[in-house]
Amino acid sequence: MNAFRHAIGHLVSCKDVSRLLSQEQEKPMSWWTRVKVNWHLAVCSMCRAFDKQLRFLREAMRRYRT
Amino acid sequence: MNPDFLKELEVQRGYLLRVARLQLRDTALAEDVVQDTLAAALAAQDGFTGKSSVKTWLTGILKHKIVDAIRRKQREPVAVSTLDEEADLEDFEGLFKENGAWSAPPADWGDPEQSLSRQQFFDIMQFCLEKLPPNTARVFMMREVMELESDEICKELTITANNLWVILYRARMSLRECLELNWFGKRGQA
């Protein structure tokens, strides 16, 4: 089961995921891309940390301008 | 003339200048744009209803003045070639291994929201924004401070949507790294 989770989690790489998560702030992902990214996030704590940081960055810029 | 209103404009002048300088990378031009903005604000002060903060209202005026200035500046061909350079994805290779895994994984920032109540955090943020390459900073500010939509930015700067995504990705990666090095790494956990 873990091997399977690992395999579907790596249909996309960290590099792709980081780019897609950034791009999502301008344009929604297709459903299949979203599924692959979610599978990746489920097994990758580094990309989960990155995802959190991106959201924080947006919030920080919102505070910066208000 | 309402003296409180004048005082408030003076208070916001520093912020407006920082935003304009980041986007225009030209101190003299930034001063002109902020001067125009304050003049327009004075002329239109009756239009300020107090529904939003003065800062938000002024930022709205500044946005139009900056877009006009960029539009005029954009006729200089130099800007376009450096924009292309900054839209190049190749530079990111160092951040990832051959197989696309992180080479320097992002750290856990704990509860970063706590930082938002500290002025020093925003000083570091300003430092990190100023370290971005000029066009990258301009595009990022248009998106995150001026809140322009992607297609408006692409139209103003005559770049493709793909270029825009790469530039914003670059900006975010760089800001993330800078904040981690200069804030969260050192004192964020404290």
> From the CB of residue A62, how many other CB atoms can be counted at a distance below 10 Å?
13
Q: Which residues of A touch B56 (CB under 8 A)?
A: 65-66
Tell me the per-residue pLDDT of B105-162, one tens digit each, with 9 for 90 and over.
999 998 999 999 998 999 999 999 988 988 899 899 999 988 889 998 998 888 899 9
- The Cα–Cα gap between B71 and B78 comes to 14
pTM above 0.90, yes or no: no
Q: Which residues of A touch B116 (CB under 8 A)?
A: 59-60, 63
Q: Which residue in B has a C-alpha nearest to residue A53's C-alpha?
A: B176
Tell me the per-residue pLDDT of B36-66, one tens digit each, with 9 for 90 and over.
999 998 888 877 777 778 888 898 889 888 8
Please report, in angstroms and rounded to a whole number, the separation of the first and last CA atoms in chain B: 47
The CATH number for B104's domain is: 1.10.10.10
- The Cα–Cα gap between B126 and B120 comes to 10
Q: Which residues of B touch A41 (CB under 8 A)?
A: none
- Select from B45, B73, B101 the last residue of a domain: B73
Task: List A residues 24-43 in contact with B (Cβ-Cβ < 8 A).
Answer: 25-27
**Using the beta-carbon criterion (under 8 Å), do B144 and A65 form an inter-chain contact?**
yes
Say yes or no: B88 and B117 in one domain: yes
Residue B114 structural domain: 76-190
Say yes or no: B120 and B169 in one domain: yes
**Using the beta-carbon criterion (under 8 Å), do A16 and B99 form an inter-chain contact?**
no
Structure tokens at B90: 């190749």
Say yes or no: B61 and B88 in one domain: no
B162 phi and psi angles, rounded to 5 deg: -60, -45
Predicted-complex ipTM score: 0.93
Binning pLDDT at 50, 70 and 90, where does residue B3 land? confident
Say yes or no: B17 and B48 in one domain: yes
**Using the beta-carbon criterion (under 8 Å), do A22 and B109 form an inter-chain contact?**
no
A58 vs B: CB within 8 A: yes
Q: How far A16 CA lies from chain B's nearest CA (Å)?
A: 7
Count of structural domains within chain B: 2
- The Cα–Cα gap between B115 and B132 comes to 21
- What residue segments make up the domains of chain A, in order of their start? 2-65
